[in-house]
């Protein structure tokens, strides 16, 4: 969207990203981070099996999508779907995508 529609929409969601709200999310973000590292998470499974882990691709890159999923109320079991959809949306803006 372009202004003024973008400005109106941005104001609607700005509160969710304010410092106070994000600070209140700290415990949930810490829980998500721990879940990703334990045996149930993909990174945890890789670590337990002795496989190498790409910390950026496997841990740091998915984290913001999972936090946004929580903000949107997406159930944990669907976080990976949201990540996949997000990647597809971003990909359509890359040059030479058919």
pLDDT bucket at 60, cuts 50 / 70 / 90: confident
Contact (CB, 8 A) for 12 and 72: no
Dihedral angle over CA of 38, 44, 50, 55, nearest 10: -130
pLDDT at residue 7 greater than cutoff 90:
yes
> What is the average pLDDT value for the chain, to the nearest integer?
83
Q: How much is the pLDDT for 8?
A: 92
Q: What percent of the chain has pLDDT over 90?
A: 9
Q: Judge whether residue 44 has pLDDT over 80.
A: no
Residues 6+ away with beta carbon under 8 Å from 34: none
């Amino acid at each position: 969207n372009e202004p003024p529609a973008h400005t109106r929409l941005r104001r609607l969601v700005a509160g969710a990203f304010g410092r106070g709200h994000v600070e209140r999310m700290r415990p949930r973000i810490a829980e998500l981070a721990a879940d990703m590292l334990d045996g149930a998470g993909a990174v945890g499974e890789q670590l337990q099996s002795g496989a190498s882990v790409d910390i950026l691709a496997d841990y740091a890159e998915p984290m913001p999508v999972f936090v946004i999923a929580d903000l949107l109320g997406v159930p944990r079991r669907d976080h990976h779907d949201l990540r996949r959809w997000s990647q597809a949306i971003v990909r359509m803006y890359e040059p030479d995508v058919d």
